[in-house]
Amino acid sequence: MSILSYDHLYKFTHDILIKIGCPEFHAQIGAEVLVSADLRGVDSHGVARLSGYIRLWEKGRINTNPNIRIVHESPSTAVVDGDSGLGLVVAPYAMNVAIEKATKAGTGWVSVRNSNHYGIAGYHSMMALDHDMIGLSFTNASPLVSPTFSKERLLGTNPISVAIPADEEPPFVADMATTTAANGKLEILQRKGKEAPSGWIQDKDGNPTTTADGVKNGGALLPLGGDREHGSHKGYALGAIVDIFSAVLSGANYGPWVPPFVAFLDPDPNPVGEGIGHFFGAMRVDAFRPADEFKSHMDNWIRRFRSAEPTPGNDRVLIPGDPERELEATRKKEGIPLLQPVIEDLVDLGKRFGVKF
């Protein structure tokens, strides 16, 4: 484990993106989105993924100089075509379209096709906060999740993020996979050789298992809820809604057709759409009630929940976004810890592209 500064990781990522052909502005925003994951503690979505993006670029699956554009619109909606660009760049573009629409129409809703992995969902939803707007961000992803009663993997971990501004309190920021557990958490257990809790995964035959490498061996992650008795049909429905809003509305690939994130697996030769899909929303708070009224009630909401009496063995009730914000504050000050294999990966990448790590 080594500790690196945000600035160091940002600059390295930026320089690599320039080397693969990104225009300056794309390299800036792409690096900012990627490293924001490391800052917020979503380590699986940060610089650890950079070499994966590079491999997709080498395969011709990522266009580093894309013509991102609106292909359809109404006063409160748009469809954006990402032209096979980095999702890290396409997503902020689309979220800005949602914010512009909301400025005029009260709300803005943008579905995106022909994109790639977009980093952490929460970066994009949080773009709305400074505008006194509520932000929403969904994306579909490579199929690793089996719907309730399905042996087949038909959905991605399809996250939902919703960011809501407050006044004196920090904002409410939910950012969650629609599965019981994120794939990154499973990978940690695999590395440690530990069992996974029940309800996280099933094996390749569709039976529940606690073997942490079950997903690697043809099994699947399970929707939030874990099994039918604990509401997995609800997690399945949420993942499905994310898939449909992101891809059926925009014309991207959906369900089992979503292109795999790993470069060694080829996309389906008979796609049902283009690339992967995202969905963004922005709602101007004062399209409902005066923003100061809303934000002062949000303060009250947050304080009431945060001060609730905790259950035995727990210190306090958290507000969605608390853990990530606290980690971000620490890591901004003290640096970002990276595992040795990630460091080695980045050093290699630097050598190949002539960028000092």
By the 8 A CB rule, do 233 and 149 touch? no
Among 59, 69, 194, 289, binds a second copy (CB under 8 A): 289
CA–CA gap between residue 207 and residue 188 (Å, rounded): 22
x/- string (CB under 8 A) for a second copy, residues 136-155? ----------xxxxxxx-x-
The rounded distance, in Å, linking the Cα atoms of 87 and 69 is: 13
The piece of 53-61, 90-98, 210-218, 252-260 that touches a second copy (CB under 8 A) is 252-260
Should residue 285 be labelled a site residue for a second copy when binding is judged by CB under 8 A? yes
Binding mask 306-335 for a second copy (x = CB under 8 A): --xxxxx-x-xxx-x---------------
Residue 288 engages a second copy in binding (rule: CB under 8 A): yes
Give least dist CB 11 to a second copy, A: 34
Q: How far is CA 246 from CA 115, 189, 249, 278, in A?
A: 11, 30, 6, 4
If the CB atoms of residues 65 and 307 are measured against a second copy, the closer one turns out to be: 307
Q: Is 211 in the site for a second copy (CB under 8 A)?
A: no
Q: Is 305 in the site for a second copy (CB under 8 A)?
A: yes
DSSP symbols for 155-174? B----EEEEE--SSSPPEEE
Query: What is the Cα–Cα distance from 139 to 249, expressed in whole angstroms?
Result: 12
CB of 207 to a second copy, least distance (A): 6
Tracing tokens 């690697």 back to the chain, one arrives at 216
CB 110 within 8 A of CB 80: yes
Q: Is 202 in the site for a second copy (CB under 8 A)?
A: yes
CB 101, CB 108: distance < 8 Å = yes
Question: According to CB under 8 A, which one of 48, 56, 189, 283 is a site residue for a second copy?
Answer: 283
- Which positions from 43 through 82 interact with a second copy, judged by CB under 8 A? 72-77, 79
- Taking CB under 8 A as the criterion, the residue among 301, 339, 343, 350 binding a second copy is 301
Per CB under 8 A, does 291 bind a second copy? no
330-346 burial string, b = 16+ CB within 10 Å, else e? ebeeebbebeeebbebb
**Residues 96-135, mask of contacts with a second copy (x by CB under 8 A):** --------xxxx-x-x----------------------x-
Q: Which CB atom, from 15 or from 187, has the smaller least distance to a second copy?
A: 187
Q: Which is nearer to a second copy, 175 or 328 (CB)?
A: 175
Q: Give the residue with the Cβ less far from a second copy, 176 or 339.
A: 176
57 contacts 22 by C-beta, under 8 angstroms: no
- Among 179, 183, 209, 246, which residue interacts with a second copy (rule: CB under 8 A)? 179
* Coil vs helix vs strand at 77: strand
# residues contacting a second copy (CB under 8 A) = 88
Backbone torsion region of residue 118, taken as left when φ is above 0, otherwise alpha when ψ lies between -120 and 50, otherwise beta: alpha
Tell me the C-alpha distance between 283 and 315, whole Å. Answer: 34
